């Protein structure tokens, strides 16, 4: 399960409305990419879905339940940030298991889930290391592992690869794609990178200044961009 619906969602900071009324449905199992220039509201939207930011008005529903009435930790969503947000004093094993310890899961179950996640992310040899002794790509895998162990209804990624060099980014894109193939869990992936959007998405949501310019598959956007902005952004002539 992992159907996410935004219904007339708005967001203002003070007097400034950064998201005018916005409607959007992400179907269960979709890989949706929010793409648009810096400052267009991608992170704000994702943070509202995650419950890290209040809505000014409107509703968000997750599998038909009004999410805004559910505390962030109980929404069944796992967020992965660009900055990894790992605990430097904890080993990889402890970092990945952290959300499960917080949820007071039995140790045996925690060990098992951490191991499964570590295997799927090629981290088995690094479980006893600290984040400082890992490469950027490995750190990002640990952050993804910490999301996987929770078996969330949806993963929310906020520009997770923008701190990595170009070669590593390509590899991690493939890994995240494979993860989606395997788990078939809803993923919402925020990026300002058109190539990432075009290669990873089932559904691309193009944003400009808090407004959805177009929603469609990569092919639809490429062949039938609705306006100059989408055409320019996605890179095909209109
Ligand atoms: P993106 O992730 O697409 O780069 P953001 O969602 O971070 O964009 O920001 C959207 C707009 O909201 C920007 O104009 C930004 O300056 C503004 N904004 C974001 N967070 C805050 C905040 N906490 N207070 C005031 N303005 C904010
Ligand atoms: Mg952002």
pLDDT in tens, 157-216: 999 988 888 888 898 899 999 999 999 999 999 999 999 999 999 999 999 999 999 999
User: In testing the pocket of ligand 1, which one of 10, 13, 15 has its CB within 8 Å of the most ligand atoms?
Assistant: 13
Residue by residue, pLDDT tens for the chain (238 residues) are 799 999 999 999 999 999 999 999 999 999 999 999 999 999 999 999 999 999 999 999 999 989 888 888 888 899 998 777 899 999 999 999 999 999 899 999 999 999 999 999 999 999 999 999 999 889 999 999 999 999 999 999 999 988 888 888 898 899 999 999 999 999 999 999 999 999 999 999 999 999 999 999 999 999 999 999 999 888 654 4
The pLDDT of residue 70 is 85
CA angle 118–123–127, rounded 5-degree value: 85
User: In testing the pocket of ligand 1, which one of 10, 11, 14, 18 has its CB within 8 Å of the most ligand atoms?
Assistant: 18
Ligand 1 contact via 44 beta carbon (within 6 Å): yes
Distances (CA, A) of 120 to 18, 88, 179, 180: 38, 22, 8, 12
Q: What is the ipTM of this complex?
A: 0.98
The pLDDT of residue 238 is 44
- Check: pTM over 0.90? Answer yes or no: yes
Helix (H, G, I), strand (E, B) or coil at 107: helix
Enumerate the β-bridge partners of residue 5.
Answer: 25, 61
Q: Exposed, middle or buried, 28 (CB in 10 Å: 0-12/13-18/19+)?
A: middle
The pLDDT of residue 236 is 54
State the closest ligand 1 atom to the C-alpha of 47, by its place in the atom list counted from 1: 6
The pLDDT of residue 156 is 96
The pLDDT of residue 72 is 83
């Amino acid at each position: 399960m992992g159907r996410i619906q935004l219904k007339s969602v708005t967001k203002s900071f003070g007097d400034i409305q950064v998201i005018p009324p916005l409607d959007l449905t992400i179907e269960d199992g979709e890989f949706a990419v929010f793409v648009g220039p810096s400052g267009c509201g991608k992170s704000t939207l994702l943070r509202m879905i995650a419950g890290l930011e209040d809505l000014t008005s409107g509703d968000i529903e997750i599998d038909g339940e009004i999410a805004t009435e559910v505390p962030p930790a109980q929404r069944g969503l796992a967020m992965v940030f660009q900055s990894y947000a790992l605990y430097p004093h904890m080993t990889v094993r402890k970092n990945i298991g952290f959300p499960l310890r917080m949820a007071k899961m039995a140790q045996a179950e925690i060990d098992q889930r951490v191991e499964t996640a570590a295997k799927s992310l090629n981290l088995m040899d690094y479980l006893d290391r600290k984040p400082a002794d890992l490469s950027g790509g490995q750190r990002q895998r640990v952050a993804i592992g910490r999301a996987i162990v929770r078996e969330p209804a949806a993963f929310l990624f906020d520009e997770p690869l923008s701190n990595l060099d170009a070669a590593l980014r390509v590899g991690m894109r493939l890994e995240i794609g494979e993860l989606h193939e395997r788990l078939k869990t809803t993923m919402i992936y925020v990026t300002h990178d058109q190539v990432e959007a075009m290669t990873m998405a089932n559904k691309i949501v193009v944003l400009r200044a808090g407004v959805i310019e177009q929603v469609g598959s990569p092919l639809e956007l490429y062949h039938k961009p609705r306006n100059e902005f989408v055409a320019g952004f996605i890179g095909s002539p209109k």
